[in-house]
Amino acid sequence: MLKPKKLANNNFLSSLDITIEEIFHILDLAENFKNQDFNIELKNKVLGLIFDKSSTRTRVSFQVAMSRLGGTTIDLNPTTSQIGRGEPIKDTARVLSKYCDVIAIRTFNHSDLEEYAKWSTKPIINALTDLEHPCQALADFLTIKEEFHNLKNIVLAFIGDGNNVANSLILCGALLGVEVRIACPKGYEPNPFVINKAKEINNNKNALIITNDPNSAVSGANVLYTDVWSSMGEENQKKEKDKDFEGFTIDTKLVAKADKDAIILHCLPAYRSKEITDEVIECKKSRVFEQAENRMHVQQALLSCLLS
C-alpha cells in the first residue's frame, strides 16, 4: 500500500492539508485496520494530547488508536501543566517536540493551533478548533463510504449551526466531489473563507448549497447530519440559540423528506429533543455509533501516515 507523500511528517491542521488521493488512502487504510486486515507497529512512538476543551470521543479514540499501533500517549492537562499558567506556545511546542513524535491539540482559536505548528518540529494534528474538525470529517466520510460503498452521487445535508464540523464537511466534501447542503438559521452560516475555498476546489455551483430552509436541504438527501446548536465556549448563547434554531430539529417528518435509504449522522454529544429527536437517533437509519467508532480507525490510519 503506497504511502501519501504530502502528509508524511507534516501537519494535519485542516482538511485542506491533504489531497483527494490521501483522503482515499486514509479511508482505505482505516477500513483495513477496522477489518484487522493490516497491521503497523509504531513501537517507541509517543503521541502527546493537549486539550483545552473537554472531550470524550476524540481523546479516547486517539489514545486507543495509538495503543493499537503499539505506541504510547501522554495526556497533557492544561490545568495541571505550565500550559495553563501561561507558558508561551512557542516554548511549549519546542519542548514537547523533544519528547513526543506527534501532538494532537484541541483548542479554541485556530491561530493557536497554527502557532504550535510554527514552532513544533513534530507533526501537529487538529483535534478540534473553533474553525475546523477535520478528523471528524474523515470518520464521517468513512461511515458514508461503508454504507453506500462509494461516494459518487452522494448528497449530504447538514442541519444546524455553520460550525467547525460544518466547515470541515464542506472542505472535505469539495475535495471528494460530494454535494453538501448546509441548512442553518440566518446569521449562522459557515465561515465565508471556507465557503469560498470550497467553491475554488469544486466550481460546480450545485456542489455546495447554503440555505435557511431545512426542508429543501434534506429533499432527496442520502445523509442527514446534525450537531449541537451551541458549541463548547458558547454556553452563554444557549438560550438565544435554542430560540433561533426552532424548526431545525431532525425529526421523523424531516427524515421522511430524504432519500428512502438515507442514513442519520451526529458527531455527538447529542442533546436529544433539541437538534435531533430520541426517536431518530435510535432508529434503524442511524449510524451515529458506527460513526463514533470510525473516529478510532481513521485516527489510527492518520497516525500511521504521519509516523510510519
Q: How many CB atoms lie under 10 A from the CB of residue 95?
A: 14
Catalytic residue from among 100, 184, 267, 305? 267
Interatomic CA distance for residues 24 and 192, integer angstroms: 27
Q: Which is catalytic among the residues 295, 297, 300, 305?
A: 295
Q: Which one of the listed residues 25, 100, 136, 291 is annotated catalytic?
A: 136
* Known catalytic membership, residue 181: no
Given the residues 57, 106, 110, 297, select the one marked as catalytic.
Answer: 106
From residue 129, give the alpha-carbon distance in Å to each of 107, 135, 167. Answer: 5, 11, 11
Q: Tell me if residue 25 is catalytic.
A: no
272 belongs to the catalytic site: no
- Beta partners for residue 115, in sequence order: none
Between CA 230 and CA 236 the distance in angstroms is 9
180 beta partners: 156, 208
- The yes-or-no answer on residue 136 being catalytic is yes
CA distance 270 to 288: 10
Q: C-alpha dihedral over 165, 28, 150, 63, to 10 degrees?
A: -30
**Residue bearing cell 523533544:** 98
Known catalytic residue at 172: no
23 is written with which cell numbers? 483522503
As a whole number of angstroms, the distance between CA 127 and CA 104 comes to 6
Calculate the CA 35 to chain-centre distance. 22
Catalytic residue check, 267: yes
Task: Return all residues near 259 (Cβ < 8 A) that are at least 6 apart.
Answer: 155, 220, 221, 222
**Catalytic one of 25, 57, 110, 133:** 133
Non-local CB neighbours of 36 within 8 Å, separated by 6+ positions:
none
Among 101, 130, 227, 300, which one carries the catalytic annotation? 227
Instruction: Give Cβ neighbours of residue 1 (< 8 Å, ≥ 6 apart).
Output: 25, 28, 29, 32, 38
Q: Looking at the DSSP assignment, which residues form a beta bridge with residue 106?
A: 51
Query: Cell 430520541 belongs to which residue?
Result: 278
Residues involved in catalysis: 106, 133, 136, 227, 267, 295
